[in-house]
Amino acid sequence: MEDKQRKKALDALRAYLHHFVDIPDDEWRFLSLQVATREFAVEEFMLRVGERADQQFFVVEGLARVFYINQDDKELNRAFVVENNFTGSLSAFLAEEPSRFYIQAMEPTLALILPHGLYSVLYQRHPVWEHIGRRLAESLALQLESREGTFLLDPLEARYQRFLLDLGPHAGRIPLRHVASYLGIAESTLRKLRSKVLPVVAHRKRALNITH
């Protein structure tokens, strides 16, 4: 069972990276030997504040949240991570510093673990890895800028619409209290907001599915 699970995880990662570039078989075999597979139970921490962020996670199955605790001892969600996405405290990972965020599984989660030193080794092995690294960095920068612009400039309804569009069919997997925390509002406010925004977003989402 473990071999099947690992193969499934590696196949998912290769399919994801294939969107950027085709990876030579020799390079893929090398990468496959460097990454570990791990399962996380519901509410288990993948990373805690203060821990050294010396690895990145590729979520194969499940759901995780990235959050921090403010000065009032309140949890505030920063991001949600669904299947076929990377997560980790990137700034701490690159600087080899302790994490300032928590990452916690919200569902039983299967992930591949990529150690810190792997990236520099890959970059020296083959140009394909530099290409993937650049594309991933560009994608992350666009996501961060888009989210920052939405939260700083857009009204609440637009922020909620953006959340629904970004998460797509996965949005319903996230409990309302966590969505409210992500949006920075009370759960009661979110319940009222849903009744106004959801029908509009559902219509837009169907149009997107048709055109693409």
Contact 47, 101 (CB under 8 A): yes
In this structure, the answer to whether residues 180 and 142 fall within a common structural domain is: no
Percent of the chain with pLDDT over 90: 62
In this structure, the answer to whether residues 88 and 35 fall within a common structural domain is: yes
In this structure, the answer to whether residues 49 and 119 fall within a common structural domain is: yes
pLDDT attached to residue 179 = 97
In this structure, the answer to whether residues 188 and 178 fall within a common structural domain is: yes
Q: Which of 153, 171, 199 is the last residue of a domain?
A: 153
In this structure, the answer to whether residues 34 and 133 fall within a common structural domain is: yes
In this structure, the answer to whether residues 114 and 48 fall within a common structural domain is: yes
160 SS3 class: helix
Residue 194 one-letter amino acid: R
The one-character DSSP state at 20 is T
pLDDT attached to residue 53 = 82
Q: What are phi and psi of 179, to 5 degrees?
A: -65, -45
Q: Find the mean pLDDT for residues 48-69.
A: 93
Q: Which of 36-45, 88-97, 135-144, 148-157 has the lowest mean pLDDT?
A: 88-97
Mean pLDDT highest for which of 48-57, 143-152, 193-202?
48-57
Return d(Cα 112, Cα 160) in angstroms, integer: 30
Q: Find the mean pLDDT for residues 39-44.
A: 97
pLDDT attached to residue 153 = 82
Is residue 27 scored above 60 in pLDDT? Answer: yes
Domain count, the chain: 2
How high does pLDDT run on average in the chain?
87
- The domain of 76 spans 2-153
Q: What is the per-residue DSSP string for 163-212?
A: HHHHHGGGGGGS-HHHHHHHHTS-HHHHHHHHHHHHHHHHHHHHHHHHH-
Return d(Cα 34, Cα 121) in angstroms, integer: 10
Mean pLDDT highest for which of 65-69, 90-94, 140-144, 151-155?
65-69
The one-character DSSP state at 51 is S
In this structure, the answer to whether residues 140 and 159 fall within a common structural domain is: no
Domain with 7 in it: what CATH number?
A: 2.60.120.10
Residue 88 one-letter amino acid: G
Contact 79, 65 (CB under 8 A): yes
In this structure, the answer to whether residues 41 and 137 fall within a common structural domain is: yes
pLDDT attached to residue 197 = 74
pLDDT attached to residue 131 = 93
Return d(Cα 40, Cα 20) in angstroms, integer: 28
Burial 137-175 (b: 16+ CB within 10 A, else e): eeeeeeeeeebeebeeeeeeeebbbbbbebbeeebeebe
In this structure, the answer to whether residues 146 and 202 fall within a common structural domain is: no
Q: Which of 110, 136, 153 is the last residue of a domain?
A: 153
In this structure, the answer to whether residues 64 and 88 fall within a common structural domain is: yes
Q: Which of 104, 128, 153 is the last residue of a domain?
A: 153
Is residue 40 scored above 60 in pLDDT? Answer: yes
24 SS3 class: coil
In this structure, the answer to whether residues 128 and 44 fall within a common structural domain is: yes
pLDDT digits (tens, 9 = 90+) for 157-212: 989 998 998 899 999 999 999 999 999 999 999 999 988 775 444 444 333 322 23
pLDDT digits (tens, 9 = 90+) for 61-73: 999 999 999 999 9
pTM for the predicted model, two decimal places: 0.86
In this structure, the answer to whether residues 11 and 74 fall within a common structural domain is: yes
